[in-house]
Amino acid sequence: MEMKIKELKGKLKVELIDTTPSFVNALRRIMISEIPISAIEEVYIKDNNSALQDELLAHRLGLVPVKGEGTLKLQVEGPLSVESGNLEAIEGDVQIVNKKIPIVELLENQKIDLTAKTKIGTGREHAKWQCAVVGYNYKNPEKINLEIESCSALTEKEILKRSLEILREKAKNFKLEISKYKFL
């Protein structure tokens, strides 16, 4: 199998030559469900009189890409366009990857006061831990194009590398397990 990688703005295109759809689909499934990343898991809201209900606010925060584990706080008062950059790390080693993600618009006398904890998980558990949006198409029977777009703190190349490592480990474990059986 041969792999040709082409970087585009915010995407990685990988042309796979002499492979099968099964192999490419295995990579795609690993990318969306098995690579561990960090996301906001617990949100403790002390005060929220914004237009967003507590549940919607917590859901939006869970989809903000973060790196590392720790605790964040959000303490803001309107009028203000609240963005992911308003989240401030107060404990642990946690960073906001994209500081320009809109969260909510606060009007005069509206405020939010909350803390949030991050946790590492996988896309298999919840979509907030899905590290990439991945698709593929056939150019012809010998060539399959795989397109990777990160929606996490990982780069597209890191996602590709980690998925290949996971697939290699799965194949190694499968080979070990199958060697335990005797076939006639």
Does residue 139 share a domain with residue 108? no
Say how far residue 85 (Cα) sits from the centre of its chain: 18
The length of the chain in residues reads: 184
Angle at 68 between CA 67 and CA 74, to 5 degrees: 75
Domain boundary at 103, 122, 141, which? Answer: 122
- Please check the confidence at residue 38 and state whether its pLDDT lies above 70: yes
- pLDDT, tens digit (0-9, with 9 covering 90-100), for 87-109: 999 999 999 999 999 999 999 99
Asked, for residue 136, whether it belongs to a domain, the answer is: yes
Which tokens hold the place of 92?
A: 């642990």
pTM assigned to the model: 0.88
Asked, for residue 180, whether it belongs to a domain, the answer is: no
Asked, for residue 184, whether it belongs to a domain, the answer is: no
DSSP string, 6-45: EEETTEEEEEEES--HHHHHHHHHHHHHTS-EEEEEEEEE
- pLDDT, tens digit (0-9, with 9 covering 90-100), for 134-183: 999 987 878 999 999 999 999 999 999 999 999 999 999 999 999 988 87
Half-sphere exposure of 10 (CA within 13 A, CB side): 4
